[in-house]
A and B are shown apart, each in its own frame.
Chain A
């Protein structure tokens, strides 16, 4: 229970922000926080809160897997890399050959999100493949 107390501010914030399917479980000295945030902003806010409680996330006592709810109707996603192009690969994994690239800031078509980390996308040039989901955000 000590961990739940330590991170009470975080889990309370998650509840207050309307995180759905929120699950908080403590197991073997790690607090697992799972849920679905209504927006990317809420997810960022929770990570800021986590960073306030555990600066630099060095404690190793939390695994927070909060996803961002995405409208099923979303079919367009924007490439949100730091500045570089986003690789589009034949399969889900960096070991897969690159079949195309999407420019930073470009909007591309989302085909499928069957894989959490790798989304199947299609560029306007018709290149279809898997791109790393972290660098894609809903329009």
Chain B
């Protein structure tokens, strides 16, 4: 009987001692942050801890850093569960390399484009179109548009504009 009466008290004591052992949210937060700071890839992740639930937020460069953040938080003492709101940054689009037409097709296309300009001489070397001769000012933009669309390396315009 005595034991039975003591039971609630024991439970209470057990509960208290359990609460006593439980790390404080602020301490958990500090440990998770420390752990995340060890890797530059996860160092920018922000941490919030509420009743042992760690919520991670921020942006990292790749999925590996995203899962590593969660793994580190999960492994931290006192963390009951992890809400991983860390996002992966959109990859920076590497600019596509400039396409430059090879000399043979370029020479043919340049010949086609300059056919109607008898006063213009065009030569192609290493992707560079060199223009010599004369042209009317009004015709110049049209010729340049045509030549620029052929994807040359460069248009070296030495034309005398009249």
Contact = CB atoms under 8 A, between A and B. Distances in A.
Interface of A: 23, 25, 27-28, 30, 32, 43-44, 47-48, 51, 56-58, 60-61, 63-65, 67, 82, 93-95, 116-118, 132, 134
A64 B142 CA distance: 12
A116 B98 CA distance: 17
For the complex, would chain A's binding face be called helix, strand, loop or mixed by DSSP majority? mixed
A36 B161 CA distance: 28
Q: Is the interface of B mostly helix, strand, loop or mixed?
A: mixed
Given A43-B145, A63-B151, A65-B151, A56 B98 contact: no
A60 B155 contact: yes
B17 interface: no
Nearest to B144: A57
Given A23-B95, A117-B112, A58 B157 contact: yes
B151 A60 contact: no
A134 to B, nearest CB: 5
B98 A32 contact: yes
Q: How large is the interface on B (under 10, 10 to 19, 20 to 34, 35 or more residues)?
A: 20 to 34
Contact of B112 (A27, A60, A94): A94
Contacts of B145: 43, 47, 134
Given A23-B96, A32-B98, A93-B112, A63 B157 contact: no
A118 B150 CA distance: 12
Nearest to B138: A82
B111 A94 contact: yes
A94 B96 CA distance: 31
B72 interface: no
A60 B157 contact: yes
B8 interface: no
